[in-house]
Copies of this chain bind each other. A is one copy, B any other.
Amino acid sequence: MSKTLKDCRALDAQDPLRALRHQFSLPEGVIYLDGNSLGALPKTTAARVAEAVTHEWGQGLIRSWNSAGWFDMPQRLGNKIAQLIGAAPGEVVATDSTSINLYKVLSAALHMAAEDAPTRKVLISERSNFPTDLYIAEGLCRQRGLRLVLVEPEDLADALTADVAVLMLTHVNYRTGAMHNMKSVTAAAHNAGILTVWDLAHSAGAVPVDLNGARADFSVGCGYKYLNGGPGAPAFVWVNPKHADRFWQPLSGWWGHAVPFEFTPDYRPAPGITRYLCGTQPILSMVALECGLDTVLAAQPMGGTAALRRKSLALTDLFIELVETHCSGHGLGLATPRDHAQRGSQVCLTRQTGAYAIVQALIARGVIGDFRSGDSSTFRQAQDGPCSGKTGMPDILRFGFTPLYIGFEDIWNAVEHLKQVLETAEWKKPEFNQKNAVT
């Protein structure tokens, strides 16, 4: 028998992570299932950012680069992130955007491959990888005369051929919530002589990640999704220590210099991951990111990412179960794998029509998820583009579950709203059928 509201309340009562929800300021009447797009606001952030503005900047002025520790922030925040992704202290820096960091590591990976295996001329990725990752890859392939080949996940194993230099994947797919096995995919790539670049945008803070355990080569990730760093928070970058000193990444700015305050006219890269820094970082956004990281690290005494993962799977299991029992007959499909080992911290539903309007009707009721178009996958072959790929995916209703602040009763209520939106055909109202730019 399917779970009841009472069951959901009992699950909340037993939830060892329940208290972590009080770290966040969430709007009244909102069930926020879009923390995979922009994480919620930690309660500490407003005061901490105000202190950075008023005291550190306003009073300390230029002196705060030292006295307020601004200059060490990329490394200090990087060390906090390291704890969430299976990296060691000194291996991660928080800096720039995910796209910029991807450019750095992909440049390094392609450069290494060009030195070690110059006949390998292909960069492999997943066709439904996050578009900005593909854009950066496309640009680098164009620059270097390589070919970007996009494959479906089921074709990945066969695609690891002798002409492939680098495999670039997002660990958890942004559209479907499907998760790769980082360890086995990395091992398969290495067996085929291929370097790996992992984007952890939808993983860090949500699912266990063990970069060193998987022997991954390069990785980047996002600060404003499950890490709750605030809109556009700086991203992060990790490089396997065995590669970190090898390549001078092309965005060679002052903050990545070995002796940045000697102001020498020639560039000498800092040792290790510090050379993946470039220009001056947005300190106020870094301050907010640190507050977000602390909300995730607060789970460490309660079991850390393993405990977060257990709860996340319980939440997504419950959501799938309730949607299938309460909303059947309304044309919804499931894009997210049922197999726990292949599931991130989100559930994506498919529907042939009306997905956008249903999401809008839910948002109007305070249940915030988002819509991802299937049209996008109608691949437009650029006349001069280096890509290749296949077509066809349905529209998606996407729901992210941040175990830090989503509870089991929230799931019950969200599905109840979805049921009502579908049963009453509320979503057919004109106001839910006009597209805005962003959701």
Contacts and interface: CB of A to CB of B under 8 A. Distances in A.
Contacts of A97: 96, 253, 278-281
A353 interface: no
A103 interface: yes
Nearest to A138: B267
A235 B376 CA distance: 31
Contact of A134 (B61, B66, B128, B267): B267
Contacts of A288: 53, 284
9 contacts: A34-B61, A62-B438, A97-B279, A99-B254, A132-B253, A139-B248, A265-B377, A266-B387, A285-B285
Contacts of A437: 65-66, 71, 261
A392 interface: no
A285 B385 CA distance: 35
B58 A38 contact: no
A231 B283 contact: yes
Contacts of A59: 27
Interface string A5-28: 000000000000000000001010
B370 A264 contact: no
A382 interface: yes
A401 to B, nearest CB: 15
Interface string A410-439: 000000000000000000000000001111
Interface string A217-253: 0000000100000111111000000000000101111
A317 interface: no
A436 B263 contact: no
Leading 10 A-B pairs by shortest Cβ distance: A97-B279, A99-B279, A99-B253, A282-B285, A132-B254, A231-B283, A135-B267, A41-B58, A263-B376, A282-B282
Q: How many copies does the complex hold?
A: 2
A212 B375 CA distance: 41
B267 A139 contact: yes
Contact of A263 (B282, B363, B373, B385): B373
Contacts of A381: 266
A232 B289 CA distance: 14
Contacts of A34: 61-62
Centre residue among A230, A233, A282 by max chain B CB count within 10 A: A282
Contacts of A389: 265
A100 interface: yes
A54 to B, nearest CB: 5
A139 B251 contact: yes
Contacts of A57: 38, 41, 230-231
A223 B251 CA distance: 19
Interface stretch (A43-51, A157-165, A303-311): A43-51
